[in-house]
């Protein structure tokens, strides 16, 4: 009537097999996450290169041609940069190893540096081409040190989804200690978090969607949704 | 995710998957033996059935009626009134009148179920003793199907399939399915390992010699049907299960009473394990000594994970509500922002999903092995996968009761 001990062993090996399968699927998903982020970065690099070309063209051939070409690229860029920032954070949460991963830290650093590059370029082209695009800089720290940073990020995502074409939002992770980002924070005298810089004016502490949009419109009346 | 949470998830996943795989393997390998019937011995032995009753005026008549229909020629029935305050005594007297097979012990004071069972054992003349709850009804062939199991001289007790009696409400149907699987099919699977850990109160049959050897039921234990299983194993006897024989039992009429019943079961089981802790992981007690600590380790780590996951989920919910505050609680917009992405699905979530899927597979396979039609159990099947959440809540209540140190009453 009693079962053979083999059943205990067989059940153990089947469970072990399932566990290994689970770990393998996890690894495949990790690789897919890396691939996604790498592909997105490649796309953004291409766009940066293109933007630099536009900038040089504007210098060489005059503003008109470069500004027309640049305007279209601008809206695509805003969206992909913000989405990539969100994806990096979502994938970091999904992959428990991700937080300590060199890969994540490296990509996040590159991402922040690139945003700074894009911001500089955008400022110069905005001036040159007289675009009506607003800009918001978001300085944040990890949720343990900054309780409201996640809330602020959610509010900015909501704004980005609604006014993607009229607003460019840049997020800067202050935990990464990137020298150029720290310099920017110092320039705006950012000492507490979360902190927003809207059209070069600093607003620290948690801000609601209503408040941010009111400030954007107050500081840049040319933006279409403000009229 | 912190490391302690991950360790909990991996431990619970491994133990529960092992448990589910193991059960499915046994059921598959022994599928032909699940309902195999055994032949009656040449000399028909006398069987006594003891029915302790306390305030059972609503159900005792049907219980006695089902006992009268039992098609076993050498039968005596001992009904023990446990000092009921209602009309149980008069109903019993009327129901058993002129039936010489019945003996009625009408106690004036309440002594508790275990004491009444021991009182019945003393007067019972049968070689085998069936113990039956007064809120249950049995099928007429229950003895013809169970007595043959005692031809194995080491068999100390035999349990039967337990099902809910006329389940009507949604919760009744879930409990019915829980009984069909947990108190019937899984006990059958455990019987192949000689690891049956409970002889369910609605109906179980014992060898009288074994009951006398282990000095009957422990009157101080609130789960005497659980505790006696430990004593039978300790004395070196086996507990079998006959899936073909059935008992139908009333399920608690309200959620509160279900909670009280489960709190008694869970508290009593922990007290029993503490009492018999010397049996754990001892090779002398075979698989029984392994499965009990395994099951309870799984229960407690699962409970820890449930509390931890609830805390994390609740914190996340509060965070989300808080962040909604800054966008004028525009929930619809938030839902619209959500874009499904399989890559945001963490490994721990994947593991929880596989356990959920595996328990659904076990439910479907279990019903097939138990020869039940899905259409009969469809409502119960809808709720069964979620009953584990209810178990956790009952367990939390039981742990509080244990820590408080107060005496958990039988009812």
* Same domain as B342, residue B234: no
Q: What is the pTM of this model?
A: 0.84
* Same domain as A136, residue A69: no
In chain B, residues with a C-beta closer than 8 Å to the C-beta of A161 are 333, 337
Highest mean pLDDT among A81-90, B69-78, B349-358: B69-78
Which range among A94-98, A220-224, B76-80, B212-216 shows the weakest confidence by mean pLDDT? A94-98
The pLDDT tens digits of the residues spanning A101-123 come to 677 778 888 888 888 888 887 78
Please give, rounded to a whole number of angstroms, the shortest distance from the CA of A53 to a CA of chain B.
34
DSSP-assigned states of every residue in B45-92: PPEEEEEEESS-TTTHHHHHHHHHT---SSEEEEEEEE--SSSHHHHH
- A33 in B contact zone (CB under 8 Å): yes
* Same domain as A158, residue A92: no
Domain boundary among A109, A131, A153: A131
Q: Domain range spanning residue A177?
A: 132-227
Indicate whether A16 belongs to any domain: no
Beta strands in B166-217 (DSSP E): 203-207
CA distance B132 to B141: 15
Indicate whether B389 belongs to any domain: yes
Of A25, A36, A209, the CB nearest to B326: A209
Domain boundary among B209, B235, B254: B254
Please give, rounded to a whole number of angstroms, the shortest distance from the CA of A120 to a CA of chain B.
29
Indicate whether B66 belongs to any domain: yes
User: Is residue B393's pLDDT more than 80?
Assistant: yes
Indicate whether A227 belongs to any domain: yes
**B343 to A155: CB separation less than 8 angstroms, yes or no:** no
Domain boundary among A87, A102, A131: A131
Indicate whether A37 belongs to any domain: yes
Cβ burial of B3 (10 Å; 0-12, 13-18, 19+) is exposed
* Same domain as A139, residue A124: no
**A90 to B341: CB separation less than 8 angstroms, yes or no:** yes
User: Is residue B337's pLDDT more than 90?
Assistant: no
Q: What is the pLDDT of residue A75?
A: 63
Give me the CATH number covering residue A162. 3.40.30.10
Number of independent structural domains in chain A: 2
* Same domain as A178, residue A127: no
Check if the beta carbon of residue B53 is closer than 8 Å to that of residue A35: no
Indicate whether A7 belongs to any domain: no
* Cβ neighbours of residue A180 closer than 8 Å, sequence gap 6 or more: A113, A116
In chain A, residues with a C-beta closer than 8 Å to the C-beta of B14 are 15, 19
* Same domain as A208, residue A113: no
The mean pLDDT value of chain B amounts to: 92
CA distance B405 to A9: 40
User: Is residue B390's pLDDT more than 60?
Assistant: yes
**Vertex B194, ends A5 and A8: CA angle to 5°?**
25
Indicate whether B342 belongs to any domain: yes
**A94 to B322: CB separation less than 8 angstroms, yes or no:** no
**B18 to A210: CB separation less than 8 angstroms, yes or no:** no
- A101 in B contact zone (CB under 8 Å): no
* Same domain as A102, residue A155: no
* Same domain as B48, residue B16: no
* B354, two tokens: 């596989």
- A210 in B contact zone (CB under 8 Å): yes
**CA-based Rg of chain A, rounded to a whole angstrom?**
23
**B319 to A91: CB separation less than 8 angstroms, yes or no:** no
The A201-204 sheet, strands edge to edge: A167-173, A134-140, A195-198, A201-204
Indicate whether B272 belongs to any domain: no
The mean pLDDT value of chain A amounts to: 83
3-state secondary structure (DSSP) of residue A171: strand
Q: Which residue has the higher pLDDT, B323 or B391?
A: B391
Q: Domain range spanning residue B340?
A: 3-27+290-404
* Same domain as A80, residue A56: yes
* Same domain as B333, residue B391: yes
Please give, rounded to a whole number of angstroms, the shortest distance from the CA of B313 to a CA of chain A.
14
Q: Strand pairing of B47-53 and B75-82?
A: parallel
The pLDDT tens digits of the residues spanning B140-188 come to 999 999 999 999 999 999 999 999 999 999 999 999 999 999 999 999 9
Indicate whether B274 belongs to any domain: no
Nearest chain B residue to A37, by CA: B343
Of B152, B322, B343, the CB nearest to A91: B343
- Which residues on chain B place their C-beta less than 8 Å from a C-beta of chain A? 1, 6, 13-14, 17-18, 21-22, 25-26, 29-30, 152, 191-194, 238, 240, 286-287, 319, 322-323, 325-328, 330, 333-334, 337, 341-348, 350-351, 354
């Amino acid at each position: 009537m009693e079962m053979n001990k083999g059943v205990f062993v067989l059940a153990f090996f089947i469970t072990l097999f399932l566990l290994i399968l689970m770990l393998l699927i996890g690894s495949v998903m990790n690789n897919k996450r890396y691939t996604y982020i790498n592909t997105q970065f490649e796309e953004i690099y291409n766009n940066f290169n293109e933007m630099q070309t536009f900038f040089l063209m504007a210098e060489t051939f005059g503003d008109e041609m470069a500004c027309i070409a640049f305007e279209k690229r601008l809206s695509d860029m805003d969206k992909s940069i913000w989405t990539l920032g969100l994806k990096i954070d979502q994938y970091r949460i999904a992959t428990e190893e991700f937080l300590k991963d060199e890969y994540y830290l490296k990509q996040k650093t590159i991402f922040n540096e690139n945003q700074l590059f894009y911001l500089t370029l955008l400022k110069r082209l905005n001036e040159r081409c007289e675009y009506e695009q607003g800009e918001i800089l978001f300085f944040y720290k990890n949720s343990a040190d900054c309780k409201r940073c996640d809330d602020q990020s959610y509010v900015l995502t909501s704004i980005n989804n609604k006014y993607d074409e009229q607003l460019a939002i840049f997020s800067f992770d202050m935990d990464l200690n990137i020298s150029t980002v720290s310099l920017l924070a110092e320039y705006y005298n950012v000492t507490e978090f979360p902190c927003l810089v809207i059209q070069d004016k600093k607003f620290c502490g948690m801000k609601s969607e209503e408040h941010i949009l009111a400030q954007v419109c107050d500081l840049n009346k040319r933006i279409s949704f403000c009229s | 995710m912190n490391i302690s949470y991950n360790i909990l998830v991996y431990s619970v996943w491994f133990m529960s998957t092992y448990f589910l795989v193991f059960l499915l393997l046994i059921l598959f390998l022994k599928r032909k033996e699940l309902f195999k019937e055994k032949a009656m011995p040449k000399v028909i032995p006398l069987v006594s059935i003891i029915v302790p009753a306390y305030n059972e005026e609503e159900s005792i008549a049907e219980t006695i009626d089902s006992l009268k229909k039992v098609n076993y020629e050498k039968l005596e029935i001992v009904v023990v009134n446990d000092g009921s305050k209602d009309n149980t005594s008069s109903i019993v007297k009327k129901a058993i009148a002129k039936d010489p097979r019945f003996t009625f012990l009408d106690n004036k004071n309440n002594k508790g179920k275990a004491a009444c069972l021991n009182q019945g054992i003393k007067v019972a003349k049968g070689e085998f003793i069936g113990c039956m709850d007064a809120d249950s009804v049995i099928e007429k062939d229950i003895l013809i199907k169970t007595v043959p199991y005692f031809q194995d001289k080491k068999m100390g007790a035999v349990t039967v399939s337990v099902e809910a009696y006329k389940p009507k409400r949604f919760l009744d149907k879930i409990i019915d399915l829980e009984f069909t699987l947990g108190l019937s099919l899984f006990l059958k699977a455990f019987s192949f390992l000689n690891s049956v850990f409970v002889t369910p109160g609605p109906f179980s049959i014992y060898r009288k010699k074994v009951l006398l050897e282990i000095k009957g039921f422990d009157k101080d234990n609130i789960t005497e049907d659980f505790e006696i299983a430990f004593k039978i194993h300790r004395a070196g006897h086996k507990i079998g299960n006959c899936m073909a024989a059935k008992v139908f039992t009333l399920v608690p009429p309200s959620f509160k009473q279900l909670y009280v019943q489960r709190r008694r079961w869970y508290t009593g089981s922990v007290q029993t394990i503490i009492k018999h802790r010397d049996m754990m992981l001892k090779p002398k007690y075979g698989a029984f000594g392994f499965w009990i600590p395994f099951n309870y380790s799984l229960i407690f780590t699962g409970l820890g994970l449930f509390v931890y996951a609830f805390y994390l989920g609740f914190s996340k919910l509060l965070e989300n509500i808080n962040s909604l505050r800054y966008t004028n609680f525009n929930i619809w917009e938030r839902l619209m922002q959500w874009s499904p992405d399989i890559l945001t699905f963490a490994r721990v979530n994947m593991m929880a999903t596989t356990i959920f899927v595996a328990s659904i597979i076990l439910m479907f396979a279990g019903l097939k092995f138990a020869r039940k039609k899905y259409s009969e159990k469809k409502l119960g099947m809808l709720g069964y996968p979620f009953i584990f959440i209810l178990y956790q809540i009952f367990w939390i209540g039981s742990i509080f009761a244990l820590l408080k140190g107060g005496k958990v009453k039988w009812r």
